[in-house]
Structure 1
Amino acid sequence: MTPKVFIDGEVGTTGLQIRARLAGRKDVALVSLPEAERKDTARRRDAMNAADLVILCLPDDASREAVTLIDNPATRVVDASSAHRVADGWVYGMPEYDAGQRAAIAQAKRVTNPGCYAITAVSMLHPLVAAGLVPADFPVTINAISGYSGGGKKMIASFENKAAPDYTEVPFRVYALGLEHKHTEEIRKWGGLDHRPLFVPSVGRFRQGMIVQVPLQLWALPGAVTSEAVHAALAAHYAGQRFVRVAALEETAAMSGLEPEAVNGTNELRLHVFGNARREQAVVVGLIDNLGKGASGQAVQNVNLMLGLTEEAGLDGVVNPAY
C-alpha cells in the first residue's frame, strides 16, 4: 500500500517546497485538508493520525502542540521546525552525520530536521572534532550569510513586497546580535562542542542560498594541524556520500571567490577548505541551498529513508518551486 504523507503547514515556505518535491510521485500519497480546515484542530488531528508519516512545517510552539495531537503509535513524524533539534527521543535528521545515522533515521518514529545554518556548520565541525583535529573545548567562531527566504514569508515580503510595512532595500544585514540564535545550541550539541560557538549570521538581498564559514587558527590547534589534514578528515568522513561533496584542494585553490547561490535548486552540501600554510590559517566553508539540503530537500531525504523509498527520489535535478 502506498504510504500516506500529511504536511501540517503545507502553505508555508518550507511546506510548499516539500510538497513540490513529493507531488506527482507514485511512491507516496499526499493527504491535504481544504483551506478552510487547515487550522481546524480536530481535522488536523484526524489527518495526522490517519497518515503513515507527518511532516511538521510550523512555528516551534505549534510543532510541539501538533505532536501532542498524534496518538496513533504507527504515525511517524519529521519536524522541520527547531522545536525538537536538541530534544531527547528525537533522531537528528542528517543521514551523513555518522555511519549509523542513516539507519537510525530509517527506523525512527520521530526525526528532527536540521536547521540550515546548523547542518552546514555541523557538517564541518563534527568530523573535525571526532577526528581530534579540533578539540571539543575549542573556542569556535562561525560567520554565515543566508538568502532572505530563510526568514519565512514575513522576511520574503520585507524584501520583495514594496507595500509591506517593513519593506527594505538594504543589501546586507547582520542580525541575532544578542548571540542567542536558535541554531547555536543545535550546532554545539551535534558539532560535539563543549561550549556554544560564537555564531554571527547575516542576511543578504538574494532569495536563497547560503555560505557558512568556520575560520581556524591552525597554530592554536594542538598537534600541528594543517589545512591538508582538515581536508583529509572531511573527505574521509563523507566519502561515497551522494549529497555532501568535499571539493578537492586543487579546485578550491583555483577559486577567487564563492557565490552563496552556487548550489541553489539542489540537495547538495558542498564543502571547501581554504588554507594559508605560511600564516597557519584555514577557513572551512560550506555552501548550501537554505531551502534545499537546508530545509525541504533534507526533509524529503528523511521521508524517503523512513518510508523505505529510494533516498534520492524527488531530489535529483533542479527544483525551484514558487513560494
Structure 2
Amino acid sequence: MTASVFIDGEAGTTGLQIRDRLLARGDIRLVQVDPARRKDPEARREAFASADVAILCLPDAAAVEAVALCEGLPTRIIDASTAYRVNPDWAYGFPELSAANRARIVSATRVSNPGCFSTGAIALLAPLVAAGLIDADAALSINAVSGYSGGGKAMIAEFEAGTAGAYFVYGLEHKHKHVPEMMAHTGLTRRPIFIPSVGNYAQGMIVQVPLHLPSGQTAGDLQTALADHYAGGQFVKVVDAASLLPRVNPERLNGTNVMELSVHAGPDGDRVVLLATLDNLGKGASGAAVQNLNLMLGMDEAAGL
C-alpha cells in the first residue's frame, strides 16, 4: 500500500525533519504545492484533497485556518502546533500514554502531536499519577533544557549568529504554552511550576521533575511503576539511573525517536529526580509525527524511524 501525505509547512524545522524521514520510503508519496502557490488557499485545498493524511507544521493560527480549509474533505490530519492539544475531539498523539490512547490514534481523523517538553513531563508523570504514587494536586516543579532548534527560525538564527549567548532561562511569567497540555494528559489538577531553558546546541532535551517522597515510598516504587507502564515499548525506555552517571548528555539520543526515563534517588532515600531524555526533533516533534502517521495508516510503527 502506498499512502499520500501532504506536509503543510514543510520548509520549517519540524516539516523538514518529517520530510527527510518520509522521502526514502516506498510506501509514502509526498504531495507538494508549487512554491509560487504555497499561500494560495485553493492550491492548498487541492493538496489536502489529494492526500490521505496531512501533517500541519504551522503556527497555531495558521493550523486552525488549515483545518478549516480541510472541511468536507476525507483527509486525516496530524497537527504539530499547540492549537488542539487539549481539545477532547482530537486524539492526543502520544501512543504510549495508554492502550486506549493508542487505539484512538489508530482510528482518528484528527491527531494533535505532543509538544517536546510535554512529551517528557507526561511520560514521567502520567503513570505515577495513575498509580497513586503522585497526588493529582501535588505541588510540582518541572525543569528542562533543550537545544535551540525547538525555538523556531528566529531563535535558530540568533544562536547561529552567535548573539544568543551560551544559555538562558525563560518562561518566568509562568505562562508556558505546554503547561495546559501537561495537566490535561497527566491528570494533575494543580498547575506545576515549569521553567525551561535553552542551551547553545542544536537539538536534544532533558526534562527533570524533583520529588520529595512521602513516608513509606521508595525510588524503587517509582522505577517499577514506570517500567511496568512502558514494558515492551519500542520508543520509551526506562533505564537504570546508575548507567547514566556521572553526567547526562541531552544530545545522546539525537537522531532517534527514543526517549529514556530514569529515577535518580538521593542518598537518604527521601527524594528523587525523575529524568526524561529525548531528541526534541525526534520523539519531541517530527519523529512522533511519523510514528503517529504509521499508526494511522496501519503501517509498521517504526517505519522511517
> TM-score if structure 2 supplies the norm length?
0.97
Identity %: 53
Q: CA deviation at 1:88?
A: 2.2
Contact persistence 1:231–1:249 (CA under 8 A): no
Q: CA deviation at 1:104?
A: 1.1
Q: Does structure 1 retain, via aligned residues, the 8 Å contact 2:51–2:75?
A: yes
Amino acid at match of 2:197: S
Hey, what's the Cα distance between the residues in 2 that align with 1:277 and 1:242? 32
The structure 2 residue matched to 1:200, chosen from 176, 183, 195, is 195
Instruction: State the AA in 1 paired with 2:183.
Output: R
Q: Deviations over 1:220-248 (max 9, x none)?
A: x3x62111101000000000000001002
The match for 1:102 is 102
The match for 2:259 among 266, 269, 274 is 269
Q: Is 1:282–2:277 an aligned residue pair?
A: no
Answer whether contact 1:146 1:202 (CA < 8 A) is retained: yes
SS at match of 1:96: helix
Q: Is the 8 A contact 2:218 2:269 kept in 1?
A: no
Contact kept, 8 Å, 1:148 with 1:203, in 2: the verdict is: yes
One-letter amino acid of the structure 2 residue matched with residue 174 of structure 1: V
Alignment partner, residue 236 of structure 1: 228
**2:80 corresponds to 1:90:** no
Tell me the alpha carbon deviations over residues 5-56 of structure 1, each in whole angstroms, 9 at most, x when there is no partner: 0000000000000000000211111001121111111101111122110000
Q: Give the Å deviation of 1:176.
A: 1.1
C-alpha separation between the residues in 1 aligned to 2:268 and 2:142?
23
Specify the code of the residue in structure 2 equivalent to 1:61.
Answer: A
Counterpart of 1:64 in 2: which secondary structure? Answer: helix
Q: Per-residue deviation at 1:251?
A: 2.5
The 5 A counterparts of 1:244-323 are: 244-252=236-244, 255-278=245-268, 280-315=270-305
Native 8 Å contact 1:3 1:52 kept in 2: yes
Q: CA deviation at 1:211?
A: 0.6
Letter in 2 for 1:197: P
Corresponding letter in the other structure for 2:236? V
- Deviations along 1:72-93, one digit per CA (max 9) or x if unpaired, are 4421000011110001200000
Instruction: Give the length in aligned residue pairs.
Output: 305
Are 1:181 and 2:171 an aligned pair? no
- CA distance in 1 between counterparts of 2:144 and 2:113 reads 19
Q: Matches of 1:45 and 1:99 in 2, distance apart?
A: 34
* Residue 279 (structure 1) shift: 5.1
Root mean square deviation of aligned Cα: 1.2
- Partners of 1:88 and 1:129 in 2: CA distance: 20
Q: Output the TM-score relative to the length of structure 1.
A: 0.92
Q: Which residue of 2 aligns with 1:209?
A: 204
- Distance in 2 separating the partners of 1:248 and 1:177: 32
Instruction: Look up the match of 1:171.
Output: 166
SS class of match (2:155): helix
Rounded Cα–Cα distance in structure 2 between residues aligned with 1:190 and 1:175: 23
Secondary structure of 1:47 counterpart: helix
Quote the Cα distance in structure 1 between the aligned partners of 2:109 and 2:267. 47
Matched position secondary structure for 1:149 = helix
Query: What is the CA-CA distance between 1:100 and the residue it aligns to?
Result: 1.9
1:319 aligned residue: none
Query: Which blocks of at least 5 consecutive residues in structure 2 are unaligned?
Result: none
Correspondence for 1:4: 4
